[in-house]
Amino acid sequence: MALGEVGLDFAPGMPDEALQRRVFEAQLCLAREFSLPLILHACKSEDRLLWYLRRQPDLRGVVHGFTGSAQQAAGFVDQGFFIGVGGAITHDRASRLRSVIAAVPVDHLLLETDAPFQPGAAHRGQRNEPAFIRDNLDCLAKLHHCSAAEMAARTCENAQRLFGIAIDDA
C-alpha cells in the first residue's frame, strides 16, 4: 500500500498554491501516521517538495515520472526517495533527462509506465499501455550500462524494498 498520487503541481491552471500546500501537508501527516510510502507528483514543484521532505526525514516514497534536474534527483535520493522513470527517457529530445537518470544510483530507481498517459517515443500519439514498459527498461539499462534482465531485477528489488513486498523464491 502507498499514498498517492500526492504532491504539488504549479503548472498554469492548477489549484491555488496555498490550497495545494495545505492538502499536501495533511497527506504527509497521513503517510507518517500510517507508515505509508508516498507516490509524489511533482510539476514545477520539485524544490518545494524537497523543502517539505527535508523537514520530515521519516518519510519514504518515489517521485513519479521524474523530469527534474540532477540536483533535485540527488536531493530526493538523499531523502531516501526513489526516482520513477517513465517513457519520457525514450524520446530523442530527452538528452538532459537521460543524463540525469544515468547519474541516479540504480538502487534508487523504479520503472513506471504512467499508463494510459505519457507513452514513450515508439508509441507517441497512442494510449500508453503497461506492456510498453519494456521500452523504458531497455533505455534505462542502456543508460546504466547493464542488461535489461539485470535492470529488471534491480528495479524489482527496489519496488519490493519500497513497498515492503516479500516474494518467496520457492
Beta bridge partners of 63: 40, 83
Q: What is the pLDDT of residue 169?
A: 57
C-alpha cell at 127: 494510449
Q: What is the pLDDT of residue 167?
A: 80
Share of residues in the chain with pLDDT > 70 (%) = 98
CA 119-121-122 angle, to 5 degrees, is: 90
CB-based contact 65:84 (threshold 8 Å): yes
Number of CB atoms found within 10 A of residue 138's CB: 16
Q: What is the pLDDT of residue 166?
A: 85
CB-based contact 117:125 (threshold 8 Å): no
The residue type of 67 is T
Q: What is the pLDDT of residue 170?
A: 47
The residue type of 55 is R
Which is nearest to 53 in space by CA: 62, 43, 65?
62
Low-confidence residues in the chain, pLDDT < 70: 168-170
Domains of the chain and any CATH numbers:
3-163 (3.20.20.140)
Predicted model pTM = 0.94
Beta bridge partners of 84: 110
